């Protein structure tokens, strides 16, 4: 009976193609909006979250704002702060903008002054060479670790270990190259893909804003216990700056991903709600056309009842027709969504895909729209009296 009802529903829809398409248009637009908007939010949030994870979410950032004290000494960092029981590793992170030059090319890059412990604290991975070592720190060596992108765009290739690079006119020997960034959002978050790492002691001597005072550092907790590490760092900094809470800031990077998930979840609900309104409007269109269909087929309903069709059979037939109409609009909307996402990927040079979860939601919601807005016309058809239906002209 259900199979026969589906066949009759499809035949009825195809017999009035233009009317059926205009009826489905509201559902098509609603599904298209829902799938595209939520998939874009999901794809963008995934890229941003990936970029944040590449920057490092298993670290705590500390910034000193006290301009009078300027910062804490390097010795305080490696003895007192590193000596806290909840802190596993620390690394200073002063930075500046430098002009990196080879024989033929030059680019502006972020130059970080740091120590050998940086790869232990954050996600800095090498594809060639080595990172800064303690002898480089002790000797104030002019050595540098460059990003893959900086090596390729300034020198012309990634295999540059042992070659020279001039930063702000001073010559440095390249000792390592970091891995190529796989996430395009990294450049957006950091402002550039060009990064160079020099010994902290070298930056203190060679750069105009360099200093042995540490105004920014990162720390990793023991056994991933961020709460204890953050509390211990705040207690130490409060004592160090005479209980002046405005003198420093402590950020737990592990909370950024959680906050990003909350924000994107809210955006998905917002856009989904907007698209849901379009689906409801489409549902009203389905109810209207089904009422018209019931009126047009009144004599057919009367004949079927006269030869023994039960009211539930008549109701099921029209309800299935409403569901089929809604689902056909849903499938067309998903098809348009897929084409649109492919165009966005080609034009924007990104790799966003349709979210399987939102497609399931769209199908379920469209089915619900068909049921809810098809129920009244179906009940109206089922409650017709055979004699009145047969006399209808």
- Domain ranges, ordered by start, for the chain: 2-52+259-391, 59-252
pLDDT band, very low/low/confident/very high, at 108 (cuts 50, 70, 90): confident
Distance separating alpha carbons of residues 14 and 291, to the nearest angstrom: 17
DSSP string for residues in 295-332: HHTHHHHHHHHHTT--HHHHHHHHHHHHHHHHHHHHHH
What pLDDT is attached to residue 191?
A: 59
Distance separating alpha carbons of residues 165 and 142, to the nearest angstrom: 10
Q: Is pLDDT larger for residue 55 or for residue 128?
A: 128
The three-state secondary structure class of 23 is helix
Would the pLDDT of 130 be above 90? yes
Closest CA to 371 of 318, 297, 306: 318
pLDDT tens string 327-348: 998 999 999 999 998 898 888 7
Whether the model clears a pTM of 0.75, i.e. scores above it, the answer is no
Q: Is the CA virtual torsion 187, 193, 198, 204 positive or negative? A: negative
Helix axes 17-55, 254-296, angle to 10 degrees: 180
pLDDT tens string 84-95: 888 888 888 888
pLDDT band, very low/low/confident/very high, at 144 (cuts 50, 70, 90): very high
Question: Please, which residues bridge with residue 249 across strands?
Answer: 63
What pLDDT is attached to residue 390?
A: 73
What pLDDT is attached to residue 176?
A: 93
Residue 149 · residue 193 · CB < 8 Å = yes
pLDDT band, very low/low/confident/very high, at 70 (cuts 50, 70, 90): low
Chain mean pLDDT for the chain: 81
pLDDT tens string 184-204: 555 545 557 788 999 988 888
C-alpha to C-alpha distances, 121 to 60, 156, 195, 292, 324, nearest whole angstrom: 9, 30, 17, 69, 57
Residue 201 · residue 77 · CB < 8 Å = no
What pLDDT is attached to residue 309?
A: 74
Distance separating alpha carbons of residues 193 and 184, to the nearest angstrom: 9
Residue 330 · residue 363 · CB < 8 Å = yes
What pLDDT is attached to residue 175?
A: 94
Q: 251: Cβ–Cβ under 8 A, 6 or more apart, which residues?
A: 60, 61, 62, 63
C-alpha to C-alpha distances, 311 to 3, 182, 286, nearest whole angstrom: 18, 62, 21
Would the pLDDT of 183 be above 60? no
């Amino acid at each position: 009976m259900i199979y026969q009802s589906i066949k009759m529903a499809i035949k009825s829809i195809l017999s009035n193609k233009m009317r059926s398409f205009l009826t489905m248009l509201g559902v098509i637009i609603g599904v298209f909006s829902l799938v595209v908007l939520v998939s874009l939010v999901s794809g963008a949030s995934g890229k941003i979250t990936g970029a944040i994870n590449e920057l490092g979410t298993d670290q705590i950032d500390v910034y000193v704002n006290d301009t009078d004290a300027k910062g804490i000494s390097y010795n305080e960092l490696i003895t007192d702060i590193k000596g806290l029981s909840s802190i596993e590793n620390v690394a200073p992170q002063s930075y500046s903008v430098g002009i990196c030059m080879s024989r033929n090319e030059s680019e502006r890059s972020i130059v970080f002054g740091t120590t050998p412990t940086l790869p232990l604290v954050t996600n800095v991975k090498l594809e060639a060479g080595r990172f800064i070592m303690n002898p480089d720190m002790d000797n104030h060596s002019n050595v540098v670790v460059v990003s893959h992108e900086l090596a390729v765009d300034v020198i012309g290739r990634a295999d540059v270990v042992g070659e020279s690079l001039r930063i702000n006119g001073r010559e440095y020997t390249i000792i390592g190259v970091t891995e190529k960034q796989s996430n395009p959002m990294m450049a957006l978050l950091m402002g550039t893909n060009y990064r160079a790492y020099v010994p902290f002691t070298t930056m203190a001597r060679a750069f105009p804003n360099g200093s042995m005072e540490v105004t920014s550092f990162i720390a990793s907790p023991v056994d991933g216990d961020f709460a204890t590490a953050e509390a211990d760092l705040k207690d130490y900094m409060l004592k160090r700056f005479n209980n002046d809470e405005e003198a420093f800031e402590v950020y737990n990077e592990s909370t950024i991903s959680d906050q990003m998930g909350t924000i994107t979840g809210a955006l998905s609900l917002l856009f989904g709600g907007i698209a849901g309104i379009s689906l409801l409007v489409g549902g009203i269109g389905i109810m209207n056309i089904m009422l018209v269909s019931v009126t047009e087929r009144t004599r057919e309903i009367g004949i079927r009842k006269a030869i023994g069709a039960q009211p539930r059979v008549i109701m099921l037939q029209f309800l299935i027709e409403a569901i089929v109409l809604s689902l056909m609009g849903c499938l067309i909307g998903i098809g348009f969504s897929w084409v649109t996402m492919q165009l966005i990927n080609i034009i924007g040079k990104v790799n966003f895909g349709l979210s399987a979860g939102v497609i399931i939601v769209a199908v379920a919601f469209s089915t619900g729209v068909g049921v809810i807005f098809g129920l009244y016309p179906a009940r109206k058809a089922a409650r017709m009296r055979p004699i009145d239906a047969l006399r209808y002209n």
